[in-house]
Structures are given as C-alpha cells and as structure tokens.
Structure 1
Amino acid sequence: MTMRRRTISVAAKAGVAALLVLVLELIVDRAEVLLPLAMLGWLIALAALRPAVIRHRQPRIALVAAMLAIAAYADQPNLLAFCLFLTATGLAATLPRRRFDDAASWAVRLGRLALAAVVGPWRDRRRLAHIRAHRLHPRVTVTAVAAALIVPLGGALLFLILFATANPLIARALDSMILPDIRTVIWRTAFALAVLLPVWATLRPAAGATRWQAPGGQTVPPLLRPGTLILSLATFNAVFAIQNGLDLVFLWSGAALPDGVTMADYAHQGAYALIVTALLAAVFVLTMLSPGSASAAHPPIRWLVTAWIGQNVLLVASSALRLIDYVDAYGLTPLRLAALIWMALVATGLMLILWRLLGQRSAAWLINANALALTLVLAACSVVDLSAVAADWNARVALAKGRSGPPLDLAYFERLGPGALVPLAMLERHVGSPRLHDRIEHIRFWMQTQMEEQQSSWNGWSPRNARRLAAAKALLADRGSGAAPPARRLTGAQQP
C-alpha cells in the first residue's frame, strides 16, 4: 500500500470514528433504542474500511455473531448481549491477521487489544499528524493557525467585556448565555473516549495483540507415578461411591431416611459443595494426566479415570436433583435457574475431559469445546429472560398444584419486573379465589400501567415488552383488562 493510500485509509477511519462518536453523543439520552443502529453502523464501517474482514471465512463468522448479538440487544437491551457484541466485533477485527487456534489464547489477545485501545489514537498520532500536514498548506501548521487566531479572538473578547460594562443590552445578552455545566463536560468527554477507544481499536488494531503466542508446548512430566495414580484413583472412586450410593438409595429411589434425618435436611443441603467437589476432581484429572503420556495409556488408569468421571457426572446430577427438590418446595428464581444451567455446563465439561483423554485430543480441542459450550449458553441467556421463565414456571405450578405446591409469592412476582406480566395475567385469568384474584389484578394492573408508560416513549420502547403487553391483553381481553381496579394495589404471598 502506497503512502498516499495509507494516508487516505487512516483519514477515512478517523472520520468514521469521529462520526460514530458524534452520533452516540447525540443519542446518549436515548441509547437503549438507538444504540443497535450505532452498533450496526460500527460493523458496516469495519467491513467497508477493512475489506479483509469480509474476504476471510473466520472474520465473516464473527461478523454474523456480532449481528446476532445486535438483534438480541435490539429485542431487549441487556449487558450480556452487548458484551457478546464487543467480543465478536473484536474477533472480526483481529482474525484477518491470525487464524483462530484456541479460545484461551484468543481471550488473552482480546485482552491485549483492549489494553492497547487505551493508547491507540495516541499511538497513531504521527499518522494523523501526517494527514493534517497533507490537508493544510505545507507552510501552515496548527501552531501557526493558533497563533494567528489569538490576537483577533482575544481582542474581540476584551472589547465585548468593555462594551458590556457600557451597554446594558450587551450585558444582558452575555448574562443570558448559558455555559455548559463542568460535570456535563466531564461526563460527555469520558463518554466520547469510551466510544472512540474501542472503535479505533477495531479499525486499526494493535499489531502486538495478535502476535501474542501461548508459551510453547513441552510435555509436562507426570507429577505422580502410575502406581500412585492407580492407588489415588481407586481410593477416590471408593469415597465417591459412598456418596453416590447414598444419593441413589435416598435421593433418587426415595427410600425412607434414618430417624432424625428429614428429606429437607438431606436434599436441600450441599448442592454447591458437591459441584466444588466435581470441579476439584476435574482439576486433578487435567493436572495429573495428559493424552499421550505413559500414565494415560495405562489400561487400569484409563478404566479408573473413566469410572471416576462417571461418578462425578452422577454427583453433578444429584446436585441438580437436590436443587430441583428445593425448587419444588420453595419455587423457581432466576438464580436457581442459572445454578441449574451452571451444573449442566460442569457436567458437559467433565464429559469433554473424558472424551479428550480417551480420544487422544489436544488441550486446544478441550479449551475450544468448553468455550463453544459456554458461548452457546451465554448466547441463549442473552435472548431468554430468566426472570420470565421463573415467573412462568411458578405461575403454572401454582395453578396445577394449588396449596400442595410452593407458596405463591406475589411480592416476588412484582420484583421480577416486566417478565412477570404475562404469568400474572395467566394467574388472574385462571385463579379461583376471589381474594387472591383481587391481589393479582392490582399487581398486574400496576405493572401493565408502568410498562405502557415506558412503551409510549419512543426511547423506552422495546419489541419484547411490546409482545408481553400484547400477550397479557389477549389473555384478559374478555375481562376488561384496561380498567383500573377499584382498590389500591396490594402485595404479599398467598396460596391459590
């Protein structure tokens, strides 16, 4: 690329970055609804100014992932979708320089890219100075322009101050001028930098970020002799068999517990401690065994490792069952749902460790497989509202089980926010108790009124809340859902 073409390229990127900063400064008060358009503009600028992004397959995949994250954010603004967008955009910007190898290395490279973004514009200041020199007359410099303006601007300001003391009309006009608040200036400047730095880092990514390479791969010598490993794995299997055997007898089959021990004591305690146990077991296998080593090829060790990982998977399943029993007794919350998802990820990781060991897979394969599983889960969670899922589950269980189910905490429904509107409308339509119906109606009406007020403002509107309002009104269309209840709103926990 010639010097002139490089200069034009840097000038175009600087102009686009400045334009994006200006657009976001204008929409900062309405960012939730307009930010997806700015995010899309960022991707278009990246593809237009760096053609290599769309010439190669891997950066194109990252661009598609970034657009899917924009769609998730546009449907309902959330931090997770925005973080996924930033990650995918960073990958799209850097993959043309280096092919994807493993997720851990690329996590480090993206971290280095983020650190380099802080000094990105200053790093390119020489190129920007070269652009200014080409745009201005060769003998005209920024310093000369500033020196030429000092006298006329300074003199005009001095004369205005003098005229203001002599002319009340000029004094009144100057008094009516409103200078920007210093806090607003600081906030706007910080916001502009927060936009400029990541945009510039993708348009002109630092070369050092993609040059990073993980320390090279000499085989780590085994920490334990095969005999010690066999003894350790046999002992661990025996200890785990005691815990899993008790779970199979009392937790899974429902056998009667000894006197003094209730199912609540047995099932509702230790779920998270067992997950920590499984994670420690995974660390032990990863540390002590590697594919291709003499220990990993030893038949007794392979069988013992397979049995132990199988027991760990059963341990995770028992932990999930304990949590499910707790949910049956006390209801579902977004945190409990997230814990169940986390347990599924742990079980998947354990199975992948076993697959790596038995299939002679590399460490990069294991990292990428786990990263793919995690990415799919995070992408799903950016689209699915866990609060809405929890509210819907609690409402359906309340209608199906009545007093035999967990208590219906209406105050908690209210705290769940917009995701609880449709479940509340479903409860209002089908609940039988007049007193409970009145409480649900008041909470639902208050929540619906708040959402309608937010949706009426164009900068507060979201497609997901529009669908929720439409679904709630359709459920209560024959009951005059738009009318205000006669009494004040109430909250509390009730049984249907």
Structure 2
Amino acid sequence: MAHRYLFLLKIPAAILLIVAADQLLLNGAMGSWFGGLALGWIGLLLAVRPALRRPASLVALGIAAGFALVLAYDPWPLGWALFWSALSIAALMPRIGRFDDAGRWGLRLLAHGLSGPLTPLLDLARLSRRRPQRGGPTPANLLTLLVLPLAMTGLFVALFASANPIIAETLGQVRLPWFGEVVFWGMTLVVVWPSLRPSRWATRVTTLLPRTGMPLPSLPAASLLLSLLLFNLVFAVQNGLDLAFLWSGAPLPKGMTLADYAHQGAYPLIATALLAGLFVLVALRPGSPSAANPAIRRLVVLWVAQNLLLVASSILRTLDYVEAYSLTAFRIAALAWMGLVAIGLALICWRMLAGKSAAWMINANALMAALVLSAASVVDLDATAAAWNVRHAREVGGRGVQLDLCYLSRSGSSALVSLVELERRPLQPGFRDRVRFVRDLQFRMLADAQADWRSWTWRGAQRLATARQLLGLNPPMPAALPPGAFRDCDGSIQLPAPPSAPEPAPTTAASAAEAAAQATEAAVANAAANATPPLTGAASR
C-alpha cells in the first residue's frame, strides 16, 4: 500500500515540475531561476523517493545541488549536462548501492537517457494491467465508467453555451493549449519522469558486460621488444625536431613560419599519443608475461616519456599559435584536453608498473575529466579569451595580432569588462571609437537582459555592476554616423555606395564613322570661319 501511495505521489510531483517548466522555460529567456528550478527538482525527489535519503544517493544529490548553484550563477549547457548526470546517478543509486566504476556508470547513464521516452509509456501500461485490490475497479473499468458522464456533460455545456451568451463568453475566455505547448509538456515529462521512476533496463544493461577483462591474444615478447625499439626510434626523431625548432627557437626551413609549424602538428600529435596509450593498454596488461619483462617495462616507460614530451610539444605548438594569432574558447578547451591526455598517459604507465586494475584506471581518468569539466562549467572561457586578447593586442603594445573586435562582439557579455578596460587605455582615436561602439552594444544588450527577471543572472549582474563602476554615470558614446552609413561587427563605419553614373549608349561601327565625319566637318568649318581673308586692291589703297 505504501508503495502504491508513493507511486501516486510521484504524479503530482511530475505535474508540478511540468507546470513550473511551462511558466518559466517557454518564453525562451534563460536566467538564474533555472538553478532554482533544479534545486526544486532535487527537493521533490527527496520528498517522493525515500530511497534517495541513503548516504550514497545523498552524496550524488549534493553534487547535483552544487551544479544547480552553477546553473543559478550562469546557466550554460555544460552545467546542465553535469547536473543531469549527477541527478541521474542519484536516481539510479538505490538499485546499485555503490559506485563501482565510471565505465559501467557511463553505460547506465546512456541507457537511462535513451529509455527516458519509453519510461512513462511503460509505467502507464503497467498501471493499466494492475489488478484491483479488494474488488476495486481496474483502470480500464474506471475509464469506461467516466466516458459516458464526461461526454454527455460536455455536450450539455456546448448546448447551454449556444443558448446563453454569458456561458459562451465565459467559455471563450478559456485558453486551450496549443500544439507546441503540448509537445513541450511531453518533452518535460520524458526528462522528469525517469528520475522519479527510473527504468530497470538502465540498471540491468551492465549485466551484458563481462565481469572480467576480455581475453586478448598475447603478443610474443620478441615482437613487443622490436615494436617498442622502432617506436622509440621514430618518436625520438619527431621529438628531436621539436626540440630543435619548437623549444630552442632555431630558424625554420625557408617559406615556413612558426605559426605554420605549430598549427599543422598539434592535433595529429595528440592522436598519436592516444594511439600509443591504446597500444600499451592492449598489449601490456598487468599480470601478463610481457608486462613482467624488465626490458619491455623499460622501453614502455621510455616510450611513455617520449609521448609526454610529444604532448608537451603539442601544448607549446598551440601556445605559439595563440601568441601569433589570438586566443579562443575552443583553444582553451584544446589545451585542457591535451593536459588530460598527458595525465591519462601517466596513469596508463603507472597502472602497468603498479599492477592496478582497469577499473582503477578508468575511475582515475574519469575523476580528472570530471574535475576539468566542473571547472569549465564555472569559468567563462570566452571571458578568459577576451581578457587575454585585450592584454596582448598589437593596438596596446602587445606582441599579438590586431584585435579581432568581431570575435569580441560575438562573445556577447563575456567580453564587456575587457572592452571597458581596453577603452580606458591610450588608443588611437579611430580604434577607440570602434571599441566604444562594440562596448556600447554589449553594454545595452546586457542591461536589457538584466532588466528582465527571467533573463537575470548573478554573473550578468556582477559584470554590469563592474562595467558601470568603470564607465561612470555618463559613459562616452561612439561617434554619430553620416546619413546612410552603418557599423560593421568590428565597429568600423561603412559609408553608402555613391550613386552610379548612367552608362553611355553602345557605339556601333556605323555611328562611330558618322560621328567622326561630323567631327571632321565641324573642324573644317571652324577653321574656315577663323581664317583671315586675303587683301584686295581697294582695301590696299
């Protein structure tokens, strides 16, 4: 009976979340209220699912609450993905009981997300097949019982509305949901309901995985030794070239710049390091005869060290490319990814030397990735890139390239504080006006967003307050535009195109000859008129 009561209690909880999402999400504005909605979701789960009050689930819910605060500070898709993952782990934890390894939990989360659209339908089917208790009506009988009264009542109300204008006016004020709203309700139910009643398939899917590692054929020791010797030799050539040109600053071959050398090899070298790590994982499992061979172990350690130097060279290549051009959020994420690859290589080597299990290695890598992603959900990478680009721009005496104001404009409010600080520095008048235009555009957009509670965020409020403090009460405005002119994304003034002159009529051969003849006749006549007449006898006298 208690189980049935808890099931019925989950229905109004889901309806409450759907109504809240309908009132807040359908207008399209995303603000700090989204974090409050996430915290309310956690509270409802604790109220209707007592199994989540156990220590393991409470830890996962505490992590989800932390990401809910991140969403309240500044809602972004990464924060939402981390919040959903932590909340889903908490929802599935009562059936698992413990955190075994990240690989299995990744599979469970994938199954949990894919089974979401089917979970409400499966529960509805189970509810319709449930037998009544103590002779009570079944759901099918209850539905049959309600069809006739509801249908006849609706018919009578329609007839009365046609006969009574007051009833008709009252019914006319009732707004039926539009199709898009009904679809949104269904999508919200698909997201919310699995956390209230997760599918059993999401927790049973890991039974398809083998309990132990898959048996792989062992490679002969001689083959491994020869492979590692050749690998170390090839990697030594690549690392030697990087040490000669990238690290020491030696002149590159003619026609190649440092930016070209840096950008061309950063990502292929990371792929090479990943392939090397996969080879060590497959060929040198802890406990295998090859992993116990001293010569092989030394060559593996040397090879992993060369791979770490390769990753370091990739990081330096990216940094050189950033210095030659500019920094973007994507390049910051690439640097973080390269750091994770280096940590993963070190963990693979340590696993072989210390005899750690595969689950230990997966959990260690997952923990590092979770820490990096958590930091990225809090730190605004676009703001970090904008601040770096402003500090190193050529216009302020830096060694970087000319500042890309279009990129700062596309960064939105993330670049506002950096633009304000740039505007306060000594700049050329034309460049200052362009910066002022981009800053004014971002300032007004952020102020409009913060004026509406639906799009208000803590981070936006902090940025707006900092910008107002730096600009003062009457911030300077960009120069007025001439009539018909407009501003480009970098603030440059684009003048309207001048009106085109009418094209001359096409000239044919006949008309050209006629015009030439007329010009000749006119020239002859003009010469005759201007000629001096000869002196006659009478005149001479």
User: Does TM, scored on the shorter chain, surpass 0.5?
Assistant: yes
Partner of 1:115: 114
Give the aligned CA root-mean-square deviation in angstroms. 2.8
Report the AA paired with residue 69 of structure 2.
A
The 1:170/1:380 distance shift into structure 2, 3 A limit, reads same
TM-score scaled by length of structure 2: 0.82
* 1:113 CA displacement: 2.0
Partner of 2:52: 53
Question: Greater shift after overlay, 387-396 or 195-204?
Answer: 195-204
What is the aligned counterpart of 2:334 among 330, 339, 362?
339
Partner of 2:76: 78
Partner of 2:249: 254
CA contact (8 A) 2:274 2:341 kept: yes
Partner of 1:408: 403
Report the AA paired with residue 154 of structure 1.
L
Cα distance in 1 for partners of 2:260, 2:83 equals: 44
| Structure ID, larger Rg | 2
Which structure exhibits the higher relative contact order, with contacts defined as CA atoms closer than 8 Å and separated by 6 or more residues? Answer: 1
Partner of 1:329: 324
What is the aligned counterpart of 1:18 among 15, 23, 30?
15
Report the AA paired with residue 418 of structure 1.
S
CA contact (8 A) 1:109 1:210 kept: yes
Pairs within 5 Å for 1:190-209: 190-209=183-202
Offset from partner CA, 1:137-189 (integer Å, 9 cap, x none): 7597221122123234224424644x48xxxx579849966864xxx633222
Matched, 1:149 2:150: yes
Partner of 2:232: 237
Question: Greater shift after overlay, 290-299 or 108-117?
Answer: 108-117
Cα distance in 2 for partners of 1:432, 1:156 equals: 74
CA contact (8 A) 2:286 2:357 kept: yes
* 1:349 CA displacement: 1.0
Pairs within 5 Å for 1:363-378: 363-378=358-373
* 1:407 CA displacement: 1.1
CA contact (8 A) 2:259 2:324 kept: no
Sequence identity of aligned pairs in percent?
44
Report the AA paired with residue 454 of structure 1.
A
Report the AA paired with residue 28 of structure 1.
L
Partner of 2:124: 125
The 1:332/1:310 distance shift into structure 2, 3 A limit, reads same
TM-score scaled by length of structure 1: 0.89
The 1:160/1:178 distance shift into structure 2, 3 A limit, reads closer
Report SS of the residue matched to 1:151.
helix
Matched, 1:317 2:312: yes
Cα distance in 2 for partners of 1:136, 1:122 equals: 26
Report the AA paired with residue 94 of structure 2.
P
CA contact (8 A) 2:438 2:490 kept: no
CA contact (8 A) 2:395 2:403 kept: no
Cα distance in 2 for partners of 1:132, 1:472 equals: 65
The 1:52/1:400 distance shift into structure 2, 3 A limit, reads farther
Offset from partner CA, 1:46-75 (integer Å, 9 cap, x none): 12222232222x322211111111111111
What is the aligned counterpart of 1:302 among 291, 297, 301?
297
The 1:95/1:354 distance shift into structure 2, 3 A limit, reads same
Cα distance in 1 for partners of 2:84, 2:67 equals: 9
Cα distance in 1 for partners of 2:426, 2:276 equals: 48
**Gap regions ≥5 residues in structure 2:** 482-486, 493-541
* 1:487 CA displacement: 2.1
CA contact (8 A) 1:11 1:128 kept: no
* 1:258 CA displacement: 4.1
Cα distance in 1 for partners of 2:193, 2:423 equals: 52
* 1:433 CA displacement: 2.0
Partner of 1:476: 471
Cα distance in 1 for partners of 2:73, 2:239 equals: 44
The 1:128/1:444 distance shift into structure 2, 3 A limit, reads same
Cα distance in 1 for partners of 2:469, 2:203 equals: 53
CA contact (8 A) 1:399 1:427 kept: no
Offset from partner CA, 1:196-234 (integer Å, 9 cap, x none): 233221222223322333213156244421110010001
**Gap regions ≥5 residues in structure 1:** none
The 1:13/1:176 distance shift into structure 2, 3 A limit, reads closer
Cα distance in 2 for partners of 1:177, 1:63 equals: 43
Cα distance in 2 for partners of 1:338, 1:176 equals: 55
Report the AA paired with residue 271 of structure 2.
V
Partner of 2:61: 63
Cα distance in 2 for partners of 1:393, 1:158 equals: 71
CA contact (8 A) 1:473 1:481 kept: no
CA contact (8 A) 1:442 1:490 kept: no
Partner of 1:87: 85
Partner of 1:5: 2
Report the AA paired with residue 157 of structure 1.
A
Would you tell me which structure has more helix in proportion to its own residues?
1
Cα distance in 1 for partners of 2:337, 2:312 equals: 12
Question: Greater shift after overlay, 320-329 or 403-412?
Answer: 403-412
* 1:133 CA displacement: 6.3
Cα distance in 2 for partners of 1:264, 1:422 equals: 29
The 1:133/1:15 distance shift into structure 2, 3 A limit, reads farther
CA contact (8 A) 2:57 2:90 kept: yes
Report SS of the residue matched to 2:227.
helix
CA contact (8 A) 1:411 1:491 kept: yes
Cα distance in 2 for partners of 1:69, 1:379 equals: 8
Question: Greater shift after overlay, 18-27 or 382-391?
Answer: 18-27
Matched, 1:272 2:267: yes
Matched, 1:487 2:485: no
Matched, 1:106 2:105: yes
* 1:285 CA displacement: 1.1
Partner of 1:437: 432
Matched, 1:96 2:91: no
Cα distance in 1 for partners of 2:364, 2:399 equals: 43
